């Protein structure tokens, strides 16, 4: 796994044979993710800061960059990302945090996307061949403490029984 080194202060994180320099704010969460056995690709503790120079070369990205201020990102292989989401959801109540992570219109809703990737992007002499490789989870930084707590609860085998959620913020 790599972090966007140079943009944010990093700290070393090691779990078994996994190790990397991780943005310091995300380090406890990445450690917990790895302790749960989930794989990651990259992470970033503030997408706007990491991509602040984009609008100079790509003016159309200015609005997107500003909209990501205070947003964190963790990239997973698809299967690990889905397992991560299930673990986090099951390790806590179906509260406002849960609604943000599961419903795209909730206030502060997480942005969870699966990115198809074309192998020809990296080897242009190959024909295009798309595959699902990357599940990207972006969330507001204020959710980091609860996310990390739920990961620790999952690792300890603690879960919360299913119960109805309050969907009023999404119009249900």
Both tokens assigned to 100: 């943000």
Residues in the chain where the model's pLDDT stays below 70: 1-6
pLDDT, position 107: 96
Has residue 98 been placed in a domain?
yes
Contacts of 75 (CB under 8 A, 6+ apart): 40, 41, 42, 43, 81, 134, 135, 136, 137
Range of the domain at 70: 2-159
- pTM across the whole model: 0.90
Q: How many domains does the chain have?
A: 1
- Within-domain flag for 166: no
Indicate whether 172 belongs to any domain.
Answer: no
Query: Which tens digit of pLDDT belongs to each residue from 24-38?
Result: 999 999 999 999 999
Residue 21 inside a domain? The answer is: yes
DSSP string, 135-154: EEEEEEGGGHHHHHHHHHHH
Alpha carbon distance 27, 144 (integer Å): 11
Q: Does a structural domain hold residue 130? A: yes
Return the closest-CA partner of residue 155 out of 20, 31, 54. Answer: 31
């Amino acid at each position: 796994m790599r972090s966007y080194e140079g943009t944010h202060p990093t700290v070393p994180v090691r779990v078994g044979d996994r190790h990397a320099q991780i943005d310091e704010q995300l380090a406890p969460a990445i450690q917990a993710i790895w302790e749960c056995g989930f794989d990651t690709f990259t992470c970033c503790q503030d997408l706007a800061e990491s991509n602040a120079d984009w609008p100079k070369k790509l003016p159309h990205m200015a609005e997107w960059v500003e909209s990501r201020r205070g947003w964190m990102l963790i990239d997973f292989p698809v299967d690990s990302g889905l397992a991560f989401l299930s673990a986090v959801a099951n390790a806590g109540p179906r509260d406002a945090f849960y609604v943000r992570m599961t419903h795209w219109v909730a206030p502060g809703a997480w942005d969870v996307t699966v990115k198809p990737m074309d192998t020809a992007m990296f080897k242009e002499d190959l024909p295009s061949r798309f595959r699902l490789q990357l599940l990207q989870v972006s969330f507001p930084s204020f959710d980091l403490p609860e996310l990390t707590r739920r990961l620790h609860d999952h690792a300890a085998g603690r879960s919360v029984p299913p119960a109805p959620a309050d969907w009023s913020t999404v119009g249900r």
